[in-house]
Amino acid sequence: MNLTQTLHKLWAPYCALCRFENKVPGKLLCTGCFGDMPLRDFDEAQIHSVSVPAFAAASYAYPVDQLLHSYKYHNQVQLADLLSELIATLPRPRAGTLLVPMPSSTARIKERGFDHMDLIAQRLAKHWDLQIWRGLKRTGHAPKQKTLSRSERHANVANQLSSRAPPLNHTLLILDDVSTTGATLNAAVRSLQGHFAKASDARVFAYVLAHEFKHSD
Ligand SMILES: [Zn+2]
């Protein structure tokens, strides 16, 4: 998309979801659709299957699921603004916290033409005035998580993430798009904690855009 097309999209009077005409200029959605976002109250935002404090801005439901799908699989890069705005509804992290985007494999980045969590991290870093630390790495080509069973998923992610030693005396905030079982987040946490003598010496927590909340959460 060239600049004119991007500007046209941003300033076009139509909401990207419902096509309603009177949306706020410069925003992709009308106020009605933005208000329909399945945002979580903070006291109901915690993902209990993750071994460190982890919070989801929204439930993985319409329209967040569709927006995320368009962003990741249909090259709607301009949605990075809206998706980071949704994560930014979670409390602002303390000054000095390092943002750690969940990495994508090189193959996926090539396929998409952009690193989807890195773009979101860049927007949040600006919004919260924080630095990004890109120390988590994918070590292989991950098969699509959705095609794997729960236990395979668990084994798969554990083998696919590694990290550099994080800088000392910083809190690390992992950023991811969707969590279902929490397996990917737990693997990232384990990898980061592995650099410390005691797991509790690593100050790690996580924010995700959306989580599939179950009754057990
Ligand atoms: Zn709308």
Residues 6+ apart with CB under 8 A from 5: none
Q: What is the pLDDT of residues 113-137, one digit of tens each?
A: 999 999 999 999 999 999 999 999 9
Q: What is the whole-number distance in angstroms between the Cα of residue 21 and the centre of ligand 1?
A: 8
Q: How far is the CA of 89 from the centre of ligand 1 (A)?
A: 19
CA 146 / ligand 1 centre spacing (Å):
29
Give the Cα-Cα-Cα angle 78, 79, 83 (nearest 5 degrees): 140
Higher pLDDT, 169 or 14: 169
CA of 17 to the centre of ligand 1 (A): 5
CA of 10 from ligand 1 middle (Å) equals: 14
Distance CA 82, CA 18 (A): 16
User: If you measure from the C-alpha of residue 199 to the centroid of ligand 1, how many angstroms do you get, rounded to a whole number?
Assistant: 45
Q: Which stretch of 1-5, 82-86, 205-209 has the lowest confidence by average pLDDT?
A: 1-5
Burial 51-83 (b: 16+ CB within 10 A, else e): ebebbbbbbbeebbbebbebbbeeebebbbebb
Q: Measure 62 CA to ligand 1 centroid, in angstroms.
A: 13
Query: In the structure, what pLDDT confidence band is assigned to residue 6 with cuts at 50, 70 and 90?
Result: low
In the chain the domains, ranked by start, together with CATH numbers, are 1-36 (no CATH), 37-211 (3.40.50)
Reply yes or no on whether the pLDDT at 99 is more than 90: yes
How confident is the model at residue 141, as a pLDDT?
56
pTM to 2 decimal places = 0.85
Q: What is the pLDDT of residues 168-190, one digit of tens each?
A: 889 999 999 999 999 999 999 99
pLDDT tens by residue, 188-211:
999 999 999 888 889 999 999 999
Ligand 1 ion: residues within 5 Å (CB)? 15, 17-18, 20, 30, 33
Give me ligand 1 centre to Cα 147, in Å: 32
